[in-house]
Amino acid sequence: MQTPTEADRTAEPPTRRTPLLGEPFPTLSVETTQGPKTIPDDYAGQWFVLFSHPGDFTPVCTTEFVAFERRREAFEELDVALMGLSVDRVHSHIKWVEWIEAEFDVDVSFPIIADEAARVADRLGMIHPEMGTSTVRSVFVVDPGGTLRLTLYYPMEVGRNVDEILRAIRALQTADEETVATPANWPDNEDHDDRLLLRPPSDEAGAEARRSEADEEGYDCRDWWFCTRDR
C-alpha cells in the first residue's frame, strides 16, 4: 500500500463548496493588474470587497467599474479596499481600463484579478452554469479578520447598486462597533430613522432586565425584544 506524501495530505480537494457567511475567506494567490497578490492575507487588518464581472468591454460591467471608482474614496473612508475579477487576461483588463479613462475620464485605480483558468471563480462559486461560462456579478465583503461577512449575486443583465454595498458595509461596521443591529433601509428607516436595534436578550433574566432598564438607558421599546436607541 502506497504511503501518502505530505503534499497528498495537505492538498485541497479538487472542488470545495463556496465559503459561507461567518467563515474564513479562503486563501487565494491571484494575478492582478497590479501584480501578484494573496487574499485575504494582503488585506489583513482592513475590510475589502471582491467583486466579479462577466467580461471586459461589456456595457453593464463598464458602468459598474465607473461607479465603483467614482465611489472609491467613500470606500477608503471606511478602510475598505476594492478588487475586481473576471476570467479575462491581464492585458484585456489593462486595455479596458485605459478605454474607460479615455471615454469617461475615470482612472480605475484598484486591482483587477485575471482569472483565465476560472480557478478563483470556481472556488468562490462565481460561475453559475445556467447563466453561462462567465462569472456572474458576485460581491464578497470580507472583514479585517479575514471573515466573510456579506455575499451578493446579481444576474448578468442587472447592474449593481454600489451605494447599497457601501450602506451594507456601514451597517456591518456599526453593528460590530456598537454590538447592535440595524433595521431595514438603515439609516433611513421609515419608522426609526437612523436609530439602532438592540440585540434581543437570550434568556428570561435578560428579558426582565431589559424591561427595567429601558427608561434608564433611554431606549425606545415596543416590547422587551424590540428596542431601539440613538446612534
Q: Average pLDDT over the chain, rounded to whole?
A: 90
Separation CA 43–CA 32 (nearest Å): 14
Tell whether the model's pLDDT for residue 64 goes beyond 50. yes
User: Average pLDDT for residues 204-231, to the nearest whole number?
Assistant: 85
Please report which confidence band the pLDDT of residue 132 belongs to, taking 50, 70 and 90 as the band edges: low
| C-alpha cell at position 54 | 462577466
| Sign of the torsion formed by the C-alpha atoms of 120, 122, 124 and 128 | positive
| Sign of the torsion formed by the C-alpha atoms of 169, 47, 101 and 52 | negative
User: Average pLDDT for residues 171-182, to the nearest whole number?
Assistant: 97
CB atoms within 10 A of CB 136: 19
Beta bridge partners of 229: 196
pLDDT in tens, 65-100: 999 999 999 999 999 999 999 999 999 999 999 999
- Give the CA distances from residue 46 to residues 78, 115, 156, 187, 227, in Å, rounded to whole numbers and listed in that order: 9, 23, 29, 23, 31
Strand 148-154 and strand 112-114: the pairing is unpaired
- pLDDT of the residue at 4: 44
Residue 24, classed as helix, strand or coil, is: strand
User: Average pLDDT for residues 18-22, to the nearest whole number?
Assistant: 93
61 included as an active-site residue: yes
User: Are 196 and 146 found together in one domain?
Assistant: no
Tell whether the model's pLDDT for residue 198 goes beyond 60. yes
Strand 28-32 and strand 47-52: the pairing is unpaired
Q: Where are the alpha helices (DSSP H) in 4-79?
A: 6-10, 59-70, 72-77
**Is 3 within the bounds of a domain?**
no
Higher pLDDT, 12 or 76: 76
Pick from 198, 199, 170, 173: nearest CA to 186? 170
Tell whether the model's pLDDT for residue 171 goes beyond 80. yes
pLDDT in tens, 109-129: 999 999 988 899 999 988 888
Tell whether the model's pLDDT for residue 55 goes beyond 50. yes
Please report, for the domain that includes residue 115, its CATH number: 3.40.30.10
User: Average pLDDT for residues 156-184, to the nearest whole number?
Assistant: 96
Tell whether the model's pLDDT for residue 231 goes beyond 60. yes
Q: Residues for the chain: how many in total?
A: 231
**Is 30 within the bounds of a domain?**
yes
- Per the structure, the count of domains in the chain is 2
**Is 5 within the bounds of a domain?**
no
Residue pointed to by grid coordinates 503534499: 7
User: Are 229 and 199 found together in one domain?
Assistant: yes
Please report which confidence band the pLDDT of residue 43 belongs to, taking 50, 70 and 90 as the band edges: very high
Residue-range definition of the domain harbouring residue 87:
12-168
Domain boundary residue among 145, 168, 191? 168
Higher pLDDT, 2 or 190: 190
Q: Indicate the pTM of the whole model.
A: 0.88
User: Are 81 and 149 found together in one domain?
Assistant: yes
User: Are 153 and 188 found together in one domain?
Assistant: no
Catalytic option among 39, 49, 50, 61: 61
